[in-house]
Every structure is written in structure tokens, then in C-alpha cells.
Amino acid sequence: MSKNYTGSSRQILIVGNGAAGLSAAKAARVQDPEAAIIMFGADNYLPYYRLRLCDYIGKSEEFDKLEISNEEWFEKNRIQVKLSSKVTSIDAVFRKIRANDKEYSYDSLVLATGSTPIMPPFDNKELMGIYTIWTWKDVIEINKSLTDAQNAVIIGGGLLGLEAAHKISEMGINVSLIEAMPRLLPKQLDEKGSEIFEGKVRSLGISVFCGKSVEGFEADKNGHVAQVRLADGTLLKADVVIVAVGVKPNTGIFSDSVMSVNRFINVNEKMETGMDGVYAAGDVASVNGSWFGQWSVAGKQGQVAGTNAAGGNAVYKAMDVPYILSTMGTRVVCSGNADAIQSGNSQGTYEIDQKIDKEQFSYSKLVFRNGLFIGYILVGEPAKSFNKLQSLINTGVNVETVYNILYK
């Protein structure tokens, strides 16, 4: 879609149509009802819920069920969207960008280019049947390969890897999950929480290999992946391989600019970069040295960037957003200071209370400091009540009150 809309003299360009880009466009329109707003998307799809991609593994639902805002919404709000438009350069001096060999001028520019899946330098990584999962097109190709598959290997035990493993396992396909770290979700869970969660994963028939690194892949006679080779020599059968080991920010086109770019684009609390009139938000941005990589955070940052790009004066305030994972027929939620919730038994600094039910794959860990409730880890049944618990962070609530919320 590429209808032209004219309005005030202000022209706002938004590079990227993910969570941050869409939020920026919405906020800019609210702040300046008459501005000309153009959003550029590198692929051929309107903004969609990337976090729900794995829900469509093994299914034939249409893409429009994933859309956040459809074409009618963009037309109604007079936001021009240019799909399949890759921005290749930025001229900060003359305030221009280039996309698909065409120049566009701007008064304000929002960079929300997001991130790209990492593909490590595995041997034979170019074989057929090896995928990352980051776009709707990826899901389409993966589903084609799964039609006749008997064995699948998922490399990476994070959010996408776990959800992909679960969905493929539900199709009756043998699944092996490989995690290079010694345990699953090591940044979110302590050792006991990881043990409980891994038990749930294994109970579904999924083989788990923690502390294992992948060396490369072996091919069949047709150039299709047939085995995954681990560094210790172990060979795992694989008709389909999904690599989900993390992402890297899309900062390539900014390397020649005067912005402060060190893996991420560095911005302040107003999402301002080092260039006048240029803002950044989402996975590509680091706010005063901190990077978050969460959908809800990207949306909030985009809102601030879009507001300010349209003449506002918004400020981004870091949010205490809980980590939430719903997969494998269970839920994992953690919140609070990372050092606190990862700590072991009650020590001098923290007071810790834990409840464990291995048979039900249930676990709760409550962390207190100086009489304040400062964090928690929940796995299984207790995690259903995390909304009520989150509001009690940094209050003087006692253990009994928390347990009444979790278990009654």
C-alpha cells in the first residue's frame, strides 16, 4: 500500500514496521494530526505479532490473524506504508534517506529497524532444511518441511526455541532441544526453577541436551540436512533444524552516520540519537546504556520516539516488566532484581522462601530484603497469579499474604 497523504509541513519517516515502528506511528499521529507520516517495512507484510509466530507452526491459518493493524486502519489514520522497502542510507546533513533507490526527505526520523536472528558459523549451515524463525515467511517454509518430517532439532532454549519445540512435538515429531548453557532459561530461572521446568519439558517426550554445543550438520545425498553434529561427536537425526540462539540489532545502515553506534544505537530518555531530529526505539536502541529486547518495552519506546518526532516532549521511564513464558503446557514468570532472584538459600542480603512440587512441576521462590518483597520466580500453577503478585513488588507484604495469593 502506498497512498499519499498530505498534511502539515512536518514530514515524519519511520524506518521499521514492528512493535516500535507501529507505536511510533500511532503516537506521532496523535501528537500531530496533520503531519505526513511514512513508514517503511523491509518485508511485504503489515505489522504483525511476531511473538505469536510459533503458534502457527503446523497450522494453515491465514496471515491476517497475526496482523496488528490492517490496511484500512492505516488509510483511516493517514499513515503511508511502503512495504518491501529497504532503507540503505541516511543523510543526516540534508535530512534524507534512500530506500529502493529513491530519496525521501524528513523533518523527523524514527529508526525502529529491529533485529535479525543470529546464525552461528556452523559447518554446512547452508543445507536445505535449516531455518531461523523470525518472519511469517519462515513459518511457511518450516511448515512445508515438517509435512513429512520424523525428527526435528531445535538449537537454542530461549522463548522461540522452546515454543517451536513444543509445537513440533505436538505434531508427533521426535524433537531434540539443544541449549549451550548448563540449564534451560539460566537468565530467568535459578537452578531449582530450571530443574523443575526441564522436568516438564522432558515429560512431554522432548529430549533435552543442556551444556552442549553444535559443531555442524551432516547432509543426505540430496543436500538436505540429515544429522546435527555436536562438539562431543554426538549425532542427532534431523529432518528439520530450527536455529533460535538469539538476535542482533539491525544497525548496518547506520555505521557511516554520526550516531553513537556500538552494537546498538545509543539514545537518551527521549529516544534521541546523536543526530538532530533522529530518534531510535526498540531492539535497535540502547537507552543510556541499557537494552531490554522485549515487545512491550519496544512499544513504549516507540511511543516516546513518535511523540517527540512529532513535536512532543515525552520521556521514557524504564519499566519493571516481568519475564513471561507460556509454553509446554505451563507458565514461567519471573520479576525483580536479577541478582536477587538468582541467589541461593537465604543469605545475609536476602531472605528467601521456596515451595517445590516436582510431581506437579510447580515452583515458587519469593525474595525479600529488609522487609520488602523484591522479586519472585514462578513455574507452573503458581504462575497463574503473577498479575496480583507484580503489584506487590517493593512493598512490605509478608510471606503468608503472598502464599494466600499463589495457593488459595
Task: Please check the confidence at residue 158 and state whether its pLDDT lies above 70.
Answer: yes
Rg (CA), the chain: 23
Q: At residue 155, does pLDDT exceed 90?
A: yes
Q: Quick one: pLDDT at residue 295?
A: 86
* SS3 at position 26: helix
Same domain, 283 and 181: no
**CATH number for the domain including 53?**
3.50.50.60
Shared domain check, 22 and 85: yes
Residue 378 lies in a domain: yes
Of the residues 185, 209, 243, which one is the last residue of a structural domain?
243
Residue 121 is assigned to a structural domain of this protein: no
Q: Would residue 332 count as lying in a domain?
A: yes
Asked whether residue 62 is domain-assigned, the answer is: yes
- Residue 2 pLDDT exceeds 50: no
- Out of 309, 334, 350, pick the residue that ends a domain: 309
Of the candidates 52, 54, 49, 25, which has an alpha carbon nearest to the alpha carbon of residue 38? 25
Half-sphere exposure of 352 (CA within 13 A, CB side): 19
Q: What is the pLDDT of residue 3?
A: 45
Residues of the chain with pLDDT > 70, as a percent, come to 94
Over 90: is that where the pLDDT of 280 sits? yes
Overall number of domains in the chain: 3
Q: Which three cell numbers stand for residue 229?
A: 553434529
Q: What is the pLDDT of residue 256?
A: 58
Chain Cα centroid distance, residue 54: 12
Most confident of 51-60, 99-108, 381-390: 99-108
Q: Which residues contact 122 (CB under 8 A, 6 or more apart)?
A: 214, 215, 216, 217, 243
In 3-state terms, what secondary structure has residue 30? helix
Given this model, what pLDDT does residue 348 score? Answer: 61
User: Does position 137 have pLDDT exceeding 80, yes or no?
Assistant: yes
DSSP letter at 208? E
The three cell numbers locating residue 395: 512493598
Same domain as 100, residue 42: yes
The yes-or-no verdict on residue 92 having pLDDT over 90 is: no
77: pLDDT confidence band, cut at 50, 70 and 90? very high
Q: What is the pLDDT of residue 405?
A: 86
Taking residues 372-392, report their average pLDDT.
90
| 357 in the same domain as 300 | no
Q: Are residues 269 and 346 in the same domain?
A: no
**pLDDT above 90 covers what percent of the chain?**
69
Instruction: Report residue 375: phi and psi, to 5°.
Output: 180, 170
User: What's the pLDDT tens digit per position in 15-58?
Assistant: 999 999 999 999 999 999 999 999 999 989 999 998 889 999 99
Q: What range does the domain containing 172 cover?
A: 130-243
Alpha carbon 296 to chain centroid, angstroms: 9
Do 24 and 42 lie in one domain? The reply is yes
Q: Does residue 239 share a domain with residue 157?
A: yes
Of residues 42 and 261, more confidently modeled: 42
Interval 267-286 mean pLDDT: 93
pLDDT per residue as tens digits for the range 341-352: 887 655 567 888
Largest Cα–Cα separation, the chain: 65
pLDDT score at 290: 80
Evaluate whether residue 150 is within a structural domain: yes
**52 and 143: one domain?**
no
Are 388 and 343 members of one domain?
yes
pLDDT one-digit tens code per residue, 317-371: 987 778 899 999 999 999 987 777 887 655 567 888 899 999 999 999 999 988 8
Report yes or no on whether pTM surpasses 0.85. Answer: yes
